Amino acid sequence: FHLLDNLRYAVRITRENRNLGRLMVVNVAVGALTSMLQFYTLYWREAGTMTAGSLVLATVVQVFWQSLSSSILGRVADRRGNRIIIYRLLWVEATIPLFALALGGWEPFRGHWLWYLGVYALVGFRFPLFQLLVNYLLEIVPQKDHATALGAVNTVQLLTAPAPVLFGGLARWLGYPAAFVAGAAIGIYGCLTARALEEVRVTDQPKITP
C-alpha cells in the first residue's frame, strides 16, 4: 500500500493547497468542540434542573433543528457556496459553550430548564457543518486526490482524541466555565481560519472580457 509514499503525497498536496491546509485546522477545531457535547448535559445536571423528561425533550429539540437545518442549509449552500455557510455555522458552534454557560448558570435562565433547550437547538442547527466541510473539500481538491485528502483530514482529526480528557480536567480543576471558555476560544480560532477560505465557485470562474 506504500504508506510512507501516501503520507508524503498527502503532505505535499496540503502544502500546495492553502485552502486544504486551512480546512484541516477548521476540522480540528470542530472535532474539539464536538467532544464538548457530553459536558453540556453534565453541566445541566449539576445545575439541578435536568430530569429524565427534560432530557428526552432536549433530544427531540436537537433532532428537530438538525432535520430542519439539514433540509434548508444544504440548498442555501448550493446557491451561495459552502464556504459562507461553513463560516456562519462555525460561529454558531463557537458560541454554543457560552450559551450553555449562560443558560445553565445565570439567573433568570437557571431558574427553569426550558431555557437550556436553546443549547440543544443550537447543537442541532449546526449539524450540517460536517457534511458541508466534506463538500467544500471535494470542491477544492482535484478528483484524483479526493481519497487522499479525505484520509489526511480524518487523520489530522486524531489530534482531537485527548480533547475530552483535557476539557474534563479543566472542568474538574477550574470548573465548567473554564472548560466552556476554552472551547469557545478554539471555536473562534476555527472561525478566523475559515474566514480565510476561498469561495472556489467565485474565484475559479473564468473572467469574461467585453
57-66 residue pLDDT tens: 999 999 999 9
**pLDDT score, position 125:** 95
For helices 18-34 and 3-16, what crossing angle results, to 10°?
110
Average pLDDT over residues 81-89: 93
Q: What is the pLDDT of residue 202?
A: 55
Residues in the chain: 210
pLDDT band at 3, cuts 50/70/90?
low
Q: Exposed, middle or buried, 69 (CB in 10 Å: 0-12/13-18/19+)?
A: buried
Based on the number of CB atoms within 10 Å of its own CB, is 82 exposed (0-12), middle (13-18) or buried (19 or more)? buried
Nearest to 163 by CA among 171, 151, 152: 171
For position 84, what pLDDT does the model report?
Answer: 92
Asked if residue 193 has pLDDT above 90, the reply is yes
Give residue-wise pLDDT tens across range 123-151: 999 999 989 999 999 998 888 888 888 88
Query: What does 16-46 look like in DSSP terms, one character per residue?
Result: H-HHHHHHHHHHHHHHHHHTTHHHHHHHHHH
Residue 181, pLDDT above cutoff 90: yes
pTM, entire model: 0.85
Q: Is 74 exposed, middle or buried, given 0-12, 13-18 or 19+ CB atoms closer than 10 A? A: middle
Rounded CA separation 100/181 (Å): 10
Question: In the prediction, which pLDDT does 173 show?
Answer: 92
Alpha helical stretches, state H, the chain: 3-16, 18-34, 37-46, 52-80, 82-105, 117-125, 129-140, 146-156, 163-173, 176-195, 200-203
Query: What pLDDT is stored for residue 111 in this prediction?
Result: 66
pLDDT tens, residue by residue, 19-71: 888 999 999 999 999 999 889 988 888 876 777 788 899 999 999 999 999 99
> Distance (Å, rounded) from C-alpha 143 to C-alpha 12?
16
- CA dist 74 and 58 (Å) reads 24
Digit-coded pLDDT (tens) for 4-18: 766 777 778 878 888
pLDDT above 50 for 208: no
Q: State the average pLDDT over residues 73-83.
A: 89
Residues 53 and 144: their CA atoms lie apart, in Å, by: 50
pLDDT at 2: 64
